[in-house]
Amino acid sequence: MNERRLLQCAVALACLVPFAAGGAGVIASVAMVKSAGVPSVDLDSHFRYLSGLLFGIGLGFAACIPRIEAKGTLFRGLTLVVVCGGLARLFALVTMGSPSPGHLFGLAMELGVVPALALWQARVAAA
């Protein structure tokens, strides 16, 4: 299997995270966070909106898969959005304390896996 195909498989696998988390957030809203309690209407709306954005980010990355070597601009733009979210999550960790394991997994994806995939995409595009 060549490097391009491996990258496509890795991105497809990584897309499962925003599809699952974003989809769950749209459907279950704040209830997917066990300790959240009963949300206000505004919190519910905001949580579902952000979950929809997360799902959309997954769709954007998935759209890069077929011609991944030619989708550098889109891939980097999506990566920037994800890293900004990861930095916000890191700020929460520093100011509020360590979140649950699922949120730590998200942080690792946002500040580790996604930037690594972006660097890999650039390498494949340059080849």
Cα angle 82-15-72, degrees, rounded to a multiple of 5? 60
Judge contact between 27 and 21, C-beta under 8 A. no
Q: Which sequence spans correspond to the domains of the chain?
A: 3-126
pLDDT tens for 81-99 read 999 999 999 999 999 999 9
Q: What is the 3-state secondary structure (H, E, C) of 29-59?
A: HHHHCCCCCCCCHHHHHHHHHHHHHHHHHHH
Q: What percent of the chain has pLDDT over 90?
A: 91
Supply the pTM of this predicted model: 0.92
> Taking phi first (over 0 means left), then psi (-120 to 50 degrees means alpha), and beta for anything else, what does residue 97 get?
left
- Phi then psi for residue 39, to 5 deg, are -85, 155
